[in-house]
Amino acid sequence: MSPPEEISDEEAMAAVDEVIALKPISTVLIVIAMQTEALPLVNKFQLEEDTDACLFPQKVPWVRYHGTYKDLHIDLVWPGKDPVLGVDNVGTISASLVTYASIQAFKPDLVINAGTAGGFKAKGACVGDVYVASDVAFHDRRIPIPVFDIYGIGARRTCPTPNLLKELNLKVGKLSTGDSLDMSLQDETSILANDATIKDMEGAAVAYVAELLSVPAIFIKAMTDIVDGEKPTAEEFLENLVMVTAALDQAVTQVIDFITGKCLSSL
Ligand code: ADE
């Protein structure tokens, strides 16, 4: 009998990645920041709210809905509301925490971060458009020291989905993430440097955690406001939130229908 062939760690990891990429996707985690964005999808997929408090630490406001839709197990998590102020826990901190805890608890094959975002008309975005992000980066983590500057921007490619993009009529653009709804001049400079079409408050944080835990992630963002337009952002966002959520709901349903029965390598 010949001795087993030695393979390097890199070769072993590539082989594992290949097996994972060829395995049908059976569990999807959808991370959504706002209740208004989450509830239409909870109803569409007939998900049930989890009352088993053990999965998340006691007393956190995070909410998990789960169920099976067309053979796909779906966990949808929303970071809940601030217990004092009663508003949605938007932004990178809550998104990171809930993504980390949910990946650990539910072991998804794929993360989908879905939500509303601002778009740049200079890059072709209109209110109501739905984009899939090709890349993500931060625009408010400025660390002007060599290499830390690149770390702060945290640019990454998202999981490639060429077949999904071909099949569904979704636009593709780069996403820039920061913890403010408005845009300072410094943010604007960074967003331009990130070549972004889309601006949100969670995407790059979800991408960071997903990569940390080796789970592929995709980003579906519906435009509520035009960042480089005439209207004040907060006003335009609130005016369009409910209407644009319907477009988001439709796009996420199309994406879930497309994913069902497929493996990562055929997305
Ligand atoms: N979510 C919706 N619109 C946004 C914007 N303009 N910036 C950041 N997040 C958003």
Exposure pattern of 209-244 as b/e (b: 16+ CB <10 Å)?
Answer: bbbeeebbbbbbbbbbbbbebeeebeebbeebbeeb
Catalytic residue among 135, 225, 236, 249: 225
Gap between the Cα atoms of 218 and 199, Å rounded: 15
At 202, the amino acid letter reads E
- At 70-88, the pLDDT tens digits run 999 999 999 999 999 999 9
Mean pLDDT within 148-156: 98
Q: Is the CB of 224 under 6 A from ligand 1?
A: yes
State yes or no: is 37 an active-site residue. yes
Q: What is the pLDDT of residue 123?
A: 98
The helix (run of H) or strand (run of E) holding residue 186 is helix 185-193
DSSP 86: -
Q: What is the pLDDT of residue 250?
A: 97
Q: What is the pLDDT of residue 2?
A: 54
Instruction: Give the pTM.
Output: 0.92
Q: Which residue has the tokens 């055929």?
A: 266
Q: Is the CB of 90 under 6 A from ligand 1?
A: no
Q: In this structure, are residues 161 and 212 in contact, taking their beta carbons and an 8 Å threshold? A: no
Q: How many residues does the chain have?
A: 267
Q: How far is CA 129 from CA 38, 104, 162, 201, 255, in A?
A: 18, 32, 19, 18, 15
Residues ≥6 apart with Cβ < 8 Å to 47 = 41, 65, 66, 67, 69, 74, 76
**Nearest CA, atom 9, ligand 1:** 200
CA 265 remoteness from chain centre: 19
Query: Ligand 1 centre from 259 Cα, in Å?
Result: 27
Backbone φ and ψ for 180, nearest 5 degrees, come out as: -125, 145
Q: Is the CB of 201 under 6 A from ligand 1?
A: yes
- At 170-209, the pLDDT tens digits run 999 999 999 999 999 999 999 999 999 999 999 999 999 9
Gap between the Cα atoms of 85 and 87, Å rounded: 6
- Of all residues in the chain, the percent with pLDDT exceeding 70 is 93
**Nearest CA, atom 1, ligand 1:** 117
Task: Using the predicted structure, report yes or no on whether residue 46 has a pLDDT greater than 80.
Answer: yes
State yes or no: is 140 an active-site residue. no
Mean pLDDT within 47-63: 88
Q: Which domains does the chain have, with CATH numbers?
A: 24-266 (3.40.50.1580)
**Residue 226 — pLDDT band, cuts 50, 70, 90?**
very high
Mean pLDDT within 27-44: 97
Gap between the Cα atoms of 105 and 140, Å rounded: 30
| Residue 9: both structure tokens together | 């760690």
